[in-house]
Amino acid sequence: MRESIPLEVFQLDDGYQKHWGDWVPSKDFPEDMREVSRSILRHGFKAGIWLAPFAVDKKSDLVKEHPEWVMKNKRGKRANSGNVGHFFYGLDASRPEVMEFAKRQLEKVTKGWGFNYLKVDFIYAAVLADGDRYDYTRTRAQIADHAVTEIRNAVGGDVFLVGCGCPLGSGIGFFNAMRIGPDVDRTWFPFLKWDKWNLPGARNAVRNTITRSFMHRKWWVNDPDCVLFRSGTLFKDEEIIGIATVVAMGGGMLML
């Protein structure tokens, strides 16, 4: 494939970890993740990995060990931060101990495991609009700004850093690339009908790729999400052609 498409990055995505929040390899991956990054680098690719340092699974050890870190809503209940097939919690980035935890994970996957391309996802989970945060002396915008500053400081300037699920204004100046829309998903329209504008779906991704194209190479490299060529999607041929055409004309990242 590299002979016909100049691929540069091989990214390890969600699934290598024990749980969100427990950022250690699952039983299906080597205990020493440096084996994985070294193998990718040996084949001439940037070694990429995905991480969501402010998102935590309800079943994780982290929730059991530090329940006070979890963002709560105004009713005092643990706040759901989203649904990716299951609901998950967000960690309160206004807590110094949460930021220290996040920085340790960021340093581990880059400086420890040797990955030089990092996608940081679900950053918004740390500053939920209805979250009852620990520190009210700062606004949510100030907390988000501090969080992305510490993300970049933790990984250093040599790591290619991709933001995702990030308040766009907070990410300017810190990320090399940024997701500028929702996931493509396997369908043109979102599966869930209660929010037709923001949920994953190719139409929403295409719309944002077009309307946010002005950001490309001014603030970062635009990430329009991947182009799905595999079987098992519900796309018509003309929809796949349309998605690929918009991604190509946008000039941003191409992920397969």
Active-site positions read 121, 183
Residue the block writes with tokens 């495991």? 113
Q: From edge to edge, which strands make up the β-sheet containing 87-90?
A: 55-57, 87-90, 80-83
DSSP SS3 for 177: strand
**Contact by Cβ (8 Å): 180, 192:** no
List CB contacts of 194: < 8 A, sequence separation 6 or more: none
The H or E element that residue 172 is part of is none
List CB contacts of 179: < 8 A, sequence separation 6 or more: 162, 163, 164, 165, 166, 223, 224, 225
256 vs 236: CA distance, rounded Å: 18
DSSP state of 112: I
153 vs 151: CA distance, rounded Å: 6
Distance of CA 144 to the CA centre of its chain: 15
